[in-house]
């Protein structure tokens, strides 16, 4: 689930109205990855890759939630 090139931006989305928190990361490897959190019995967050969006060899520099 890791990026294969420099990560250029990361955006966090709180869990207000959602079941979990999310993070989006974009990279020069032409992908944007969406990560979701879950809480274990000890209360610690674990992040899992939910989706990868790939562009046609276009490095991504900025990501945001709206």
- pLDDT number for residue 19: 75
- pLDDT number for residue 39: 82
- pLDDT number for residue 41: 86
Per-residue model confidence as pLDDT tens for the chain (66 residues)? 799 999 999 999 987 777 788 999 999 999 999 999 988 889 888 899 999 999 999 999 999 998
Check if the beta carbon of residue 46 is closer than 8 Å to that of residue 34: no
pTM comes to: 0.82
- pLDDT number for residue 48: 94
Q: Quote the CA–CA distance of 55 and 29 in Å, as a whole number.
A: 9
């Amino acid at each position: 689930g890791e990026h294969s090139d420099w990560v250029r931006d990361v955006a966090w989305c709180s869990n207000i109205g959602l079941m979990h928190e999310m993070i989006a990361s974009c990279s020069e490897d032409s992908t944007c990855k969406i990560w979701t959190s879950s809480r274990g019995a000890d209360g610690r967050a674990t992040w899992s890759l939910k989706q990868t969006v790939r562009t046609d060899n276009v490095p991504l520099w900025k990501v945001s939630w709206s």
